[in-house]
Amino acid sequence: MVAIRWLGVTIGAVVGTAAVGTGAGIGWFYSGVLLDPKQRLIYPERVQAADPSMVTLKVSRLAAQPGVWGLRWADGLAQMGPVVESRAGVVVRPLLNGPVPPVGAAAVIDAGPYDPDPGARGLDFTDVAVPTPLGPAPAWLVPAGGADRCSAGLARGDTWVVLVHGRGGSRREGLRILPALHRCGHSVLMISYRNDAGAPASPDGCYHLGDTEWEDLEAAVRYARANGARQVALFGWSMGAAIVGAFLDRSPEAAAVRAVVWDAPLVDWRATLRQQVRNRRMPGWLTPTASLATTRRIGIDFDRFDLRARPPAVRPPTLIVHSTGDTAVPIAPSRALVAAAPALRWPMRYLEVPDAEHTGSWNADPPAYERAVTEFLVEHLD
């Protein structure tokens, strides 16, 4: 959910610019918002009451979402359980872990309820540096655990799962699924890529929407193989899926990939931009104008990021998970890609989750999500 929150927050600035700028200028500004890795966190929720067991929030679409979520405020993060009461403009949720938020605090609903590293999930890990083309990028390496509790058998520690977060997110995105992967006996590499905190900046200081970030994933797969990985699975959220798709199309290392999991995948950049424009009731011409400006700025070919029309060269078995409540990345391209998969000779499985927001499918029902992921990986990894 954090991955594309930027667009909903900053689109209003584009509206203001529209009153004083030309169409080309608006498109250039909009593309700048799209490519800027500097994010400002907005706190739209308000804590009405709180104690060690419960928190009461002013009702909003996000505050009322089903499932397990984080609640973040300026200097804290707590984990909230499902809504237990909704009344008179407020929702009440149990506090499952973390500090008690101050009454009156501005807060944000966070899809990642764990902070700051794998230690928050009770797991040992090592800070490592992946040698990317731009320099060392920090990663967390969580060694394989015992597989006695995995739902469908044993996996060897020479299977590595590489986790790729979405745009504007961080390695923390993978902390939700991490224990389930660890229980199945997989080693897990949670990577950063260019423009992340602690990672090298891109030469122009811009996101490239997967068009260059895939090279950092390639470096991570090489790192995994050099350190004992016999086979690799890739797990990407949102723009992380676009990065994985570009990697599968362009990298010789893609031959080592045996399975892919995509959560709320960005499989068509133009469709995502069109949805964001529609959501904010912006004029339809803004999408092609901004797309053209973005191409001129970073050289991206958006046609290569329509994975149904231009599937990657390597197509491992892929699980797509997408939620119907996703307002950031449209679900229709995921459905279309799954429908086209047999003709594309792309083994694919699909799990559709009701109601949850962007990348919130785990949050809506953690046990069901983890069961789907682990059963899929065990089926395709030996």
Q: Which pLDDT does position 10 carry in this prediction? A: 40
Band of residue 23 on the pLDDT scale cut at 50, 70, 90 = low
Q: Which CA distances in Å does 254 have to 86, 228, 234, 245?
A: 48, 16, 10, 10
Classify residue 274: in a domain, yes or no. Answer: no
DSSP per-residue string spanning 303-359: GGGBTTTS--S----EEEEEETT-SSS-SHHHHHHHHHHHHHT--EEEEEESS--TT
User: Strands 106-110 and 85-87, how do they pair?
Assistant: unpaired
Round to whole Å and give the CA distance between 193 and 198: 9
What's this model's pTM, rounded to 2 decimal places? 0.92
pLDDT, tens digit (0-9, with 9 covering 90-100), for 209-227:
999 999 999 999 999 999 9
**Based on the structure, what is the number of domains in the chain?**
2
pLDDT, tens digit (0-9, with 9 covering 90-100), for 285-314:
888 888 999 999 999 999 999 999 999 999
* 190 and 318 part of one domain: yes
* 101 and 122 part of one domain: no
Task: Output the domain CATH number for residue 197.
Answer: 3.40.50.1820
Band of residue 25 on the pLDDT scale cut at 50, 70, 90 = confident
pLDDT, tens digit (0-9, with 9 covering 90-100), for 100-128:
999 999 999 999 999 999 999 999 999 99
Q: Which pLDDT does position 279 carry in this prediction? A: 77
Indicate if the pLDDT at residue 155 is higher than 60: no
* 50 and 196 part of one domain: no
66: domain range?
45-110
Domain boundary among 110, 131, 152: 110
Give the torsion sign (CA, 222, 225, 229, 233): positive
pLDDT, tens digit (0-9, with 9 covering 90-100), for 35-69:
999 988 899 999 999 999 999 999 999 999 999 99
Q: Worst-scoring range by mean pLDDT, 11-20, 228-237, 251-260, 343-352?
A: 11-20
Of 261, 263, 234, 224, nearest to 112 by C-alpha is 263
* 175 and 196 part of one domain: yes
Domain boundary among 85, 110, 135: 110
Q: Which pLDDT does position 156 carry in this prediction? A: 58
Q: Which two tokens stand for residue 189?
A: 């590499």
Classify residue 229: in a domain, yes or no. Answer: yes
Q: Which two tokens stand for residue 337?
A: 């890609």
**What pairs with residue 236 in β-bridges?**
164, 262
In this prediction, residues 77-92 reach a mean pLDDT of 96
CB-CB contact of 369 with 377 (8 Å)? no
Phi-psi region for residue 359, left (φ > 0), alpha (ψ -120 to 50) or beta?
A: left
**What pairs with residue 15 in β-bridges?**
none
Which amino acid is located at 224 in the chain? Answer: A
CB atoms near residue 297 (< 10 Å):
16
CB atoms near residue 19 (< 10 Å):
7
* 147 and 102 part of one domain: no
